[in-house]
Structure 1
């Protein structure tokens, strides 16, 4: 992306971004530690526990999306706001719950501050980060290393390809959970009766 001249046309720039981002996601197939992914799938399939996702900035947006996607397949998941958490919102978390912390660099201050409390509460910590040997990565029971070679912007700063990579990996995890727990079309219809998806499910019921 940085090699494109500043006066490149919009379609040239946009196509370049899409190529970088699609290549970043495709590369994950050969980069992921699939044993760690399988461990996360197994953890999410354990009965009784709930799932909380947390992150700041763009990682926070990814965390919200991941919680929603997990909920769509019957996995009880909610977003834990890292700003509200130390002001009482941690009261929603119970021993045995799973907390997924998302941080590109693994050192997000707001998440690091939660680690002692999460340990005291006895939760299962999962880290999704590009730096497994980070504070968050080292404290996690399961660490998924999700990294990309570069972001598509000229400064390699905007968390775009890396954010898509995180959500893509968790999409894969969610679908594995869905297939392993026998989640079927009828259950999907109960959880998702609204919109075009609900209409399609109702038409096939």
Structure 2
């Protein structure tokens, strides 16, 4: 398509349509059993939570770590480059490692998977490829796939990244229920910004 000022906005609407369809598709690919198992795992774990990914998946991993932390499930982003140079010492038994990889064979993440297995760390994989190394060798697999990406090459990780983030938004909100997370807790950990101001004045 030749892009002109006349069709800029029409193309933008098509992007949003494709991305909204990707979000709706999550309901078709994530099973109730797997979702519930991950909720139980994160609710009842006695260890720490680490999340790792590369590139765009790494950006999603950082967002997920922040959201989990905001609901009193402290999570840290584990940089895969630093991890294989001694950083893997942070992983201990009873910890949870979440690996985010669209294709499931990200070379930088495979050593983390191997070490996690040796150290009895529970691994949650997030990938669209069930036949990948991550897809086949994790304790819990969240098989997130989308019908297509909205770019002209069907390659830019946009809709798929939104789907991963939306999945963990749902997980985090469910954890608020299962852990009894309160508005008072939220006010303590989020005193700043518009949210903090709203919490400080909201007595409901």
- Where on the TM-score scale, by shorter chain, does this alignment land: which range? over 0.9
For residues 79 and 47 of structure 1, the distance between their equivalents in structure 2, rounded to whole angstroms, comes to 17
Contact 1:51–1:78 under 8 Å retained in 2: yes
For residues 48 and 193 of structure 1, the distance between their equivalents in structure 2, rounded to whole angstroms, comes to 27
Contact 2:49–2:97 under 8 Å retained in 1: yes
Alpha-carbon RMSD across the aligned residues, in angstroms, is 1.1
Structure 2: stretches of 5+ with no match in the other structure: none
Aligned twin of 2:88 = 90
Alignment partner for residue 190 of structure 1, among 183, 188, 191? 188
Alignment partner for residue 29 of structure 2, among 19, 28, 31? 31
For residues 199 and 85 of structure 2, the distance between their equivalents in structure 1, rounded to whole angstroms, comes to 41
Alignment partner for residue 51 of structure 1, among 38, 49, 52? 49
Alignment partner for residue 175 of structure 2, among 174, 177, 182? 177
Structure 1: stretches of 5+ with no match in the other structure: none
For residues 156 and 170 of structure 2, the distance between their equivalents in structure 1, rounded to whole angstroms, comes to 24
For residues 199 and 167 of structure 1, the distance between their equivalents in structure 2, rounded to whole angstroms, comes to 26
For residues 163 and 6 of structure 1, the distance between their equivalents in structure 2, rounded to whole angstroms, comes to 27
Contact 1:132–1:144 under 8 Å retained in 2: no
Aligned twin of 2:3 = 7
For residues 131 and 198 of structure 2, the distance between their equivalents in structure 1, rounded to whole angstroms, comes to 45
Contact 1:82–1:110 under 8 Å retained in 2: yes
Contact 1:192–1:198 under 8 Å retained in 2: yes
Between stretches 89-98 and 37-46, larger displacement belongs to 89-98
Give the SS at the match of 1:109.
Answer: coil
For residues 204 and 149 of structure 1, the distance between their equivalents in structure 2, rounded to whole angstroms, comes to 41
Give the SS at the match of 1:110.
Answer: coil
Q: TM-score, normalised by structure 2?
A: 0.95
Report the count of equivalent residues.
201
Aligned twin of 1:140 = 138
The C-alpha deviation readout for 1:57-90, integer Å capped at 9, x for no partner, is 0000000000000000000100000110011211
* Pair 1:113 & 2:78 matched: no
